[in-house]
Structure 1
């Protein structure tokens, strides 16, 4: 059995007086998850935006200045999480946040392991807010992380609502999909939740949703945050009948912990009650032509 314990964060954004306050908060969160046996820790999308508070109220309260302030602290944040991963010998998907590269602003989630930084995934599907207001650019390409605990792909928030992205990762070997999210309404959280569950169903894999929660009215970009952390699997033999491995309460900060046997992923894909992962290509021959049949009006 290849069992792994996963921790998904429902993470509140706090006002930070200085860097040491951020480091203390992050360490406490990591130590809490490690204390519960977690080997993979997943922080949310845009959880790095609390670093905007380090620039003071005027910076944090300006959407454009907040983005640049968080990007400025990114190297230090990555160094910190790399140190945590090495010290506690765990894998950590750090809080995603803005990165500025040339004329592009990207939403990047970096991934760390016991040996340090492994790589990163940039969000590839931008929401309307990112496209139309924040001018955040789409990343290019997908990354599969082959680790000692399993093969891991990342679909950031809105990315999870586009099945071909997760499909490509799972065809490349992904057994776990990490889904960090940041949504300001129940509808948004529900869309990502449904997306994560659907990706676990059709790819017969594990999907892990980690959202931001609570209010941060001092930063308009992330002022309201709704959601619950959860870990999903396919509702198949050996998995929970609902597909819900673990789920927290709505808008409640803390870790949601779930233990999964990754051998079940291979078993489900090879011999599940249904075989959506194997049968996926059969769709292609059916969608080449769509026949439109119009109703014949009834004479009166």
Structure 2
């Protein structure tokens, strides 16, 4: 089987415990779209962006999602929730197989610093297999802004990138371009599911392996049910999209070694000169709002995860 149907749930959710609402939405999807194989939620759909809701994994929220996956016989990607591990808090996506077992957990590699305060970044790209279908990769929200993350997933064999998002800022339009570019340069499907309502601006999207936009949602509640053909990904990688470029083969076969990766980003004088990663101060505050290094002092404003 090479066809695999995914329903992205772009839900208009409030802050707080949304588990019962999510369970009902999944029941509606199963009733209406009986052919769907997987449901994907937006980032932090369960409780919103408050780290006060962090809990250990496994824990009660994962147990609730496992029960939903078992009840409906679906693959289920829970968006993410804040995971407490000792003194650290991670933004973690859990993937459940149709029997309710955990297929994968992914800790967001790049929290949205300097706004996603108090959250520790993960260290490992995460892929998982759907038996008989193909390999899937996970990139939570801001992870997709880093081509190194997506390329690492592709290096590990991913053919579909699942990108749960909570974007409530003006750069969602930019993210649509990033999703298309990630799909085209890596010849993969990218499924980017945002939240709506109080938590996000919607505009979830699905891009194909040529960078084509398969669907872009509006800003309110929407169920994005799509039927993906993984043989199409394999054909594009073998022959090029519509017989055009084969970038993964060129990357594989080229003799190039890139200094940015061989030596690491921290070795770049140009990147070091950018200064610390902190929130900008108001331009009205003047020099008093700047620290001794001449950079804006940290503020406590909120922002997207």
Q: TM-score range by the shorter chain?
A: 0.7 to 0.9
User: Hey, what does 2:270 align to over in structure 1?
Assistant: none
Q: Which runs of 5+ in 2 are unaligned?
A: 261-305
1:24 deviation in Å? 3.5
Distance 1:190 1:71, change over 3 A: farther
Matched-pair contact (CA < 8 Å) for 1:208–1:231: yes
Counterpart of 1:112?
96
Cα distance in structure 1, aligned partners of 2:15 and 2:257: 53
Contact 1:96/1:110 (<8 A) preserved? yes
CA distance in 2, matches of 1:284, 1:49: 47
Aligned match of 2:182 in 175, 195, 199? Answer: 199
Shift of 1:98: 0.9
Counterpart position of 1:247? 216
Equivalent runs, 1:156-235 vs 2, <5 Å: 156-187=140-171, 189-215=172-198, 224-235=199-210
1:49 counterpart residue number: 47
| TM-score normalised over the length of structure 1 | 0.77
Equivalent residue of 1:135, what SS?
A: coil
Q: Which moved more, 1:280-289 or 1:23-32?
A: 280-289
User: 2: CA distance between counterparts of 1:130 and 1:74?
Assistant: 27
Q: Is 2:112 the partner of 1:127?
A: yes
Q: TM-score, normalised by structure 2?
A: 0.76
Residue 67 of structure 2: aligned partner: 83
Counterpart in the other structure of 1:2: 2
Query: Counterpart of 2:37?
Result: 39
SS in 1 for 2:83: strand
Residue 195 of structure 1 and its aligned partner are, at CA, apart by 2.1
C-alpha offsets along residues 120-169 of structure 1, whole Å, 9 cap, x if unaligned? 101001212445xx210001212210112321100111100111111111
Q: Cα distance, 1:11 vs. partner?
A: 1.9
SS of residue matched to 2:194: strand
- The equivalent of 2:229 in structure 1 is 261
Note if contact 1:142-1:169 (Cα within 8 Å) is conserved in structure 2. Answer: yes
- Determine which structure has the larger helix proportion and give its number: 1
- 1:111–1:195 Cα change, 3 Å: same
In the alignment, is the contact (CA less than 8 A) between 2:54 and 2:89 conserved in 1?
no
- Please state whether the residue corresponding to 2:39 is helix, strand or coil: strand
Q: Is the 8 A contact 1:130 1:136 kept in 2?
A: no
* Residue number in structure 1 paired with 2:23: 27
CA shift for structure 1 position 177: 0.3
CA distance in 1, matches of 2:257, 2:56: 50
* Deviates most, 197-206 or 1-10: 1-10
Kindly state the Cα deviation for residue 284 of structure 1 after the two structures are TM-superposed. Answer: 6.4
Deviations 1:225-279 (A, max 9, x none): 21312111123xxxxxx61122211x11121111111001111001112111222
Unaligned runs of 5+ in 1: 51-62, 216-223, 236-241, 290-300
Aligned partners of 2:106 and 2:138 also within 8 Å: yes
Deviations 1:21-66 (A, max 9, x none): x44312221123223122111111121224xxxxxxxxxxxx8xx4
Number of corresponding residues: 253
Q: Is the 8 A contact 1:248 1:256 kept in 2?
A: yes
